[in-house]
A and B are shown apart, each in its own frame.
Chain A
Amino acid sequence: MTPAVRFAGVSRHFGPVRAVDNVNMEIAEGEFFAMLGPSGSGKTTCLRLIGGFDQPTAGKIEIFGVPTAGVPPYRRHVNTVFQDYALFPHLNVRDNVAYGLMVAGRPKPERYRAAEEALEMVALPGYGLRKPSELSGGQRQRVALARALVNRPRVLLLDEPLGALDLKLREAMQEELKALQRRLGITFVFVTHDQTEALSMADRVAVFNEGRIVQVGTPQDIYYRPRVPFVARFVGSSNVLPPEVTERVAGRHVHAAVRPEALRLGAEGLAATVLSTAFHGAATRVALEAEGGLRLVALLPKGVEVPQEGACVHVTWAREDLHLMTEAGA
């Protein structure tokens, strides 16, 4: 099957800055694909390259097998939900949603009907005559979504669409977006710096760092089997053991990751001092410092005895919880 989006050796350099550096990826049709990374990692630039707002300095991008070089944004079957929503302030909600159909020359009754349907889809029926300035942040976000979907794009790009919403609304929208994507079957490409968002919504996640993709995989892959220390640290803040420590505890001279919830405090294992403890409800977070200044974090479940700050403890874990990272890299 032709991938919905294909990047082949794509780079985008701004002078000496390599915003995107030799990226290769394939996004399958109907997939919910997340691009995850810290700010400045190149994920948003990749999204803009798909949307056509920016051109790659090298490499090529195909959308459903069609090369995109020289194709302007308005001729791509791709629509975008912008980070700041970019609703047209001079138009009401209905005209905002119907904008794509209006410039395509569709007759008024048709585009108003389509706009109302799209507004129903995002749970905003009857909001058509309001101005964007009269809506809350969450409502604007839905209007932006309806405006992009009304054109029936083959790929929907979402640039940190939940970033401006408060936590509760964000969680609700995560579920709604996911359900919407399942229902419509449209390929969603979603940019975020929030790892829980990426892990909970996406079918597959590409982790970006310094303009490159460092790992692509299912959320489970990314979470349990990070290939490089960056992924282990960035996604879910795993403990990363340097090669010397790994060699001592597992006999291999490579980086290794072990999740905070997998750490146990016992009578033997790695000696460490308790730096601080913090109660998190379901678990207690214990910050530790092992020899050589190695910082570790343990999440102790309810019912386990929590050590005093300053106490000397031994840290251990089940053998299968230690994930060896056989690739080199930061």
Chain B
Amino acid sequence: MHSERAPRWLKIAAGAGLAFMHLPILLIFVYAFTTEEKSYQWPPPGFTLKWFAVTWNRPDVWQALSLSLRVAAVSTAVALVLGTLCAAAVSRTRFFGREVISLMVILPIALPGIITGIALRSAFSLADIPFSFWTIVLGHATFCVVVVYNNAVARFRRISGSLIEASMDLGADGFQTFRYVILPNIATALLAGGMLAFALSFDEVIVTTFTAGQQQTLPIWMLEELVRPRQRPVTNVVAMVVVIVTFLPILGAYYLTRGTESVAGQGK
């Protein structure tokens, strides 16, 4: 490792870059406490905690939050099951078209959300499927599966194939092998993938606008709220909550996958 000290200008530039990325978020937090409710005025004319109480008492916030949490939870669950199965198939077996399937699974995350959204909306209307909780989940699952799949497939590749054979050899059937050998070895990858998927789903806007109909998830509620000129700081209070709710799982995923590089590759 290079341990020379960086020149001062480089430190300043790095600091400025980080500040540029993160100071605006602080600004959001500050506006959650402002006494001015119609426009974002700087500096804030005064500070108050009343917006927390106002937010607490608004049923539309609770509805949106609950919808978002439910959608994120179900999408993550769907993604965990499908992503793991798909990763197992692609990494453990060889079949015709394997690479194509691998590519097609990853594609939704590379596609602009707006295209995924339009495509899903057209498909729903063509099939006469009314918008519902499940259409949102479906939209979110398209990219949540990718995140879980990517995490799981990397881990699956590191599990030596003979581990599974050894388990079978010692008398474990397919289910026991999954339960006692595969799952413990991919658990952290699944947890990390699941948390990332949850965070992605929780703050998704674009695909949701096309698949939600009249329902409002939290990010969509915030978008609508911004155009309304009253009780603006309520949006900021909610924004704080969103930052915290999405930040914690991502932090958790980071810590969980950090120390597990050598989990499954040894014994060679």
- How many residues of chain B are within 8 Å of chain A by beta carbon? 24
Interface hits, A85-124 → B, CB 8 Å: 85-90, 99-100, 102-104
Q: Which of A26-66 contact B (CB under 8 A)?
A: 51-53
Please list the residues of chain B having a beta carbon within 8 angstroms of any beta carbon in chain A: 160, 162-163, 165-173, 176, 180-181, 184-185, 262-268
Residues of chain B within 8 A of A148, CB atoms compared: 169-170
Q: Are B172 and A103 in contact (CB under 8 A)?
A: yes
10 nearest A-B pairs in the assembled complex, by CB-CB distance:
A86-B166, A100-B170, A86-B162, A73-B168, A103-B172, A90-B184, A80-B169, A82-B162, A74-B171, A87-B267
Which residues from B are CB-within-8-Å of A73? 165, 168-169
- Complex interface: chain A residues within 8 A of B163 (CB): 86, 88-89
Q: Does A192 contact B (CB under 8 A)?
A: no
Closest chain B residue to A147 by CB distance? B170
Query: Could you list 11 A-B pairs, sorted by A, with CB under 8 Å?
Result: A53-B168, A74-B171, A74-B172, A79-B170, A82-B165, A84-B268, A85-B267, A89-B263, A89-B267, A90-B184, A99-B172
**Which of the listed residues A72, A78, A85 has the most CB atoms from chain B within 10 Å of its own CB?**
A85
Contacts of B263 in A (CB 8 A): 89-90
A: residues with CB less than 8 A from B are 51-53, 72-74, 78-80, 82-90, 99-100, 102-104, 132-133, 140, 147-148, 151
Which B-chain residue is minimally distant from A133 (CB atoms)? Answer: B266
Do B169 and A84 touch across chains, with their CB atoms under 8 A apart?
no
| A-B pairs with beta carbons under 8 A, tally | 80
For A99, the chain B residues whose CB sits under 8 A away are 167, 170, 172, 180
Inter-chain contacts of A102 with B (CB < 8 A): 180
| Inter-subunit contact B267/A86 (CB<8 Å) | yes
A74–B76 Cα distance when bound, in Å, is: 34
Complex Cα distance, B181 from A79, in Å, reads: 17
Cα A7 to Cα B180 in complex, Å, equals: 33
User: A90 to B165, Cβ gap below 8 A?
Assistant: no
Which residue of A51, A87, A132, A147 has the most chain B CB atoms within 10 A of its CB atom?
A87
Q: How far is the CB of A317 from chain B (nearest CB, A)?
A: 46
Which residues of chain A are near B265, meaning CB under 8 Å? Answer: 89
In the complex, which residues of chain A have a beta carbon less than 8 angstroms from the beta carbon of B167? 88, 99, 103
Question: In the complex, what residues of A have CB within 8 A of residue B171's CB?
Answer: 74, 100, 103-104, 151
A157, closest chain B residue (CB) = B169
CA distance A80 to B266 in the complex (A): 19
Chain B residue with the shortest CB-CB distance to A73: B168
